[in-house]
Structure 1
Amino acid sequence: MVDAVSRTEFRNAMARVCAPVNVITTNGPAGRGGFTATAMCSVTDEPPTLLVCMNSRSAQSEMFFGNGRFCVNVLTGEHKELAAFFAGQQADMAARYAAAEWIDLSSGNQALADAIVSFDCRLVETRRVGTHNIFIGEVVEIRSRRDGHALLYFDRNYVHVPTQTGSFGG
């Protein structure tokens, strides 16, 4: 029988996995909220779907459930302070939003004006696993820019790794 992996061992190993930094926002009848997340990935491209993980103990969980929508904003190296604010360094939600420029989307969500890409999502499924809620969202709108370098999280630090081209083809 194999011994179980400890929480600390798992967390230390996951710190060695590089991940993009995102600010996940919501706006609607349940209120305006947002948090910083690295646990985001695509699920499928038909229909275009993403998943985001949020700590289930967050006071904002019910807001995301109640609004039934969220927007994934992929950050650039210039957004380190904003990432820290939405990670909880700034408790006041109005102050978090005041630290950047936002664009109103047709869904009612707000997208970060200078995000590399913003995925506006309709919440289609949720599931609780351990300490976190998994939000699965169908992408209803995409805003993107052709320049910028992603802000990444590695070894418990924000890192900025420029690409050779800084943009994608197409």
Structure 2
Amino acid sequence: MAHLGAAVNVITTAGSHGTCGITASAVCSVTDRPPTLLVCINRSSAMHSAFVGNRDVCVNVLPGHYEDIARHFAGLTQLSMEERFSLPVWEAGANGVPVLRDALASLQGNIVEAKEVGSHSVMFVEATAIRVRGDGDGLIYFDRNFHRVPRVCATR
């Protein structure tokens, strides 16, 4: 799976089961009507129950310059969850779910279905609010490393 490159996202949630976030590359579009994504989260993750319990989430697609945010939410640094959300890059979205202010795209929505597959839960998220940026480089995870992908400007 390390050779399957993918966009880097931070999935966030907030509610009665707590506020948390996790770096995830196992995210993809399912359908555009209604706008639905799938997000895979390891069931052994300490944050899994918060996502399942809260059901309100935001998929934040990271721009290239946010590798540090990806590392924080992947648990690769010493920042606590509270410290991660105290960084001045977050704003409150619907139902208090953290939204990355500078994300390439932020897709807020609700988990409408979840299935257990192997070690993970495959969660289907129906987006209710979508915000997209028109600039910025992308960030992918490939071969167990983060890589910045420059945006190519269209020529006419």
TM-score band, normalised by the shorter chain? over 0.9
> Following the alignment from structure 1 to structure 2, what is the Cα–Cα distance between the partners of residues 165 and 100?
29
Check 1:39–1:56 CA distance in 2 against 1; reply closer, same or farther (3 A cut): same
How far does the alpha carbon of each residue in 1:5-40 deviate from its partner, in whole angstroms, 9 at most, with x for none? xxxxxxxxx211210000000011111010000000
CA RMSD of aligned residues (A): 1.3
Point out which structure has higher relative CO (alpha carbons under 8 A, 6+ apart): 2
Structure 2 length normalisation: TM-score?
Answer: 0.93
Give the structure-1-normalised TM-score. Answer: 0.86
Output the CA distance in 2 between the equivalents of 1:147 and 1:163: 8
Quote the offset at 1:133 in angstroms: 0.8
Matched residues in 1 for 2:94 and 2:56: separation? 12
Is the contact made by 1:100 and 1:112 (CA closer than 8 Å) also made in structure 2? no
Matched, 1:25 2:19: no
Q: Is the 8 A contact 1:82 1:99 kept in 2?
A: no
1:100 is displaced (CA, Å) by 4.2
For residues 17 and 77 of structure 1, the distance between their equivalents in structure 2, rounded to whole angstroms, comes to 18
Structure 1 residues 141-160: aligned runs within 5 Å: 141-160=129-148
- Structure 2: gaps (5+ residues): none
The residue number in structure 2 matching 1:139 is: 127
The answer to whether 1:88 aligns with 2:75 is: yes
Of 4, 7, 25, 1:38 maps to 25
Matched, 1:48 2:35: yes
Radius of gyration: which is bigger? 1
Matched, 1:72 2:59: yes
User: Structure 1: which 5+ runs fail to align?
Assistant: 1-13
Partner-residue secondary structure (3-state), 2:135: coil
